[in-house]
Amino acid sequence: MSDAGHNAADGTEANTPKPPLRIRIARRLVRLSMLLGIGYVFWGVSLYFMQDSILFPRRMTGTPLPDAVIPRQVQRLWTGGAEDANRSGVEAWLINAALPNPDGSPAPLVVFFHGNAELIDDQLELAQVYSLMGLHVLLVEYPGYGRSAGKPSQKSITAAAMTLIEQAEKAARGGVDTSRIVLHGRSLGSAAAAQVAARLKDRGTPPAALVLESPFLSVVAFAAGYGAPAFLVKNPFRTDEILPTLDAPVLIIHSRQDEIVPFAHGERLNTITPGSTLIEMNGTHNSVLADQDEYWVSFVEHLRSAGVLPK
């Protein structure tokens, strides 16, 4: 009895008709879609938690200079003010114009924002060139970088920069001409410069000129390339939304060989920004573009046309 029952059952299973091919394909597509959906969610969550270390790779910046070797001409500012004896805030270096204006009038101020794997300590040679042009120079550090406390973000970098600019306006020798503030940023610094430009405009002292070196449209644009939706981006840095709203000349310096920020980003920013100028340089993203003569020729011409430097 038992054996016969088993055989009947086996025969029944063996003779069970298979579902139509279209149903089997549909089921497989549903399973595949579920697996892809789970993978995409995992990918998005991973990017969400990894994005800060990608955008702000502080471990790659190296060691800041010891206090004893910081040049004498550097005036150190902190967001906590002169009373911040413990240096618990964000740092900036102010280098005064090498020579005061003959008529005693305030000098222009260049505010420089470095790349995401650099420190203000790396910008002294650049600052010296500015200073010799008769410009005050403010090198703004990012929260959490170098000797600065805090955590870097679009909000914290912008807030710290605004505080340090206000301090520099008071501390610079001979004063700062707030109608001739220049913002210069490299890579991530270009995005920071755009954010500060919007804040200066809101303050009623819009920048006289911007210089953006190897700039990108936004972090959102990069995220899209990784398949991540915009709402996952914690620090969007929408330079593409800010530049068209500014009434200030913008110089864009970019290399077609840039392997990190595609040249197309610079081209697009130039297209959407009225009155901007795009200068094509040679070199990779981490090349020192300032070593090329055209870099400084373009820079000086830009500041002269903006009324920052005398013609």
Residue 9 structure tokens = 């059952």
The answer, yes or no, to whether residue 256 has pLDDT greater than 70, is: yes
110/231: higher pLDDT: 110
- Does pTM surpass 0.75? yes
In 3D, which of 248, 251, 239, 250 has the Cα closest to residue 281? 251
Residue 8: band (very low, low, confident or very high) from pLDDT cuts 50, 70, 90: very low
pLDDT value of position 194: 98
Per-residue burial over 128-140, b if 16 or more Cβ lie within 10 Å, else e, is eebbebbbbbbbb
The answer, yes or no, to whether residue 30 has pLDDT greater than 90, is: no
What distance in Å separates the CA atoms of residue 207 and residue 258, rounded to the nearest whole number? 27
pLDDT value of position 25: 72
In 3D, which of 231, 212, 215 has the Cα closest to residue 223? 231
What distance in Å separates the CA atoms of residue 92 and residue 109, rounded to the nearest whole number? 14
Contact call for residues 300 and 135 (beta carbons, < 8 A): no
pLDDT value of position 40: 53
242/22: higher pLDDT: 242
pLDDT value of position 178: 97
pLDDT value of position 43: 56
pLDDT value of position 260: 92
Which residues, in sequence order, are CB contacts of 112 under 8 Å at separation 6+?
123, 126, 127, 130, 137, 138, 139, 140, 184, 185, 186, 189
The answer, yes or no, to whether residue 297 has pLDDT greater than 70, is: yes
Between 186-200, 203-217, 279-293, the lowest mean confidence (pLDDT) is in 279-293
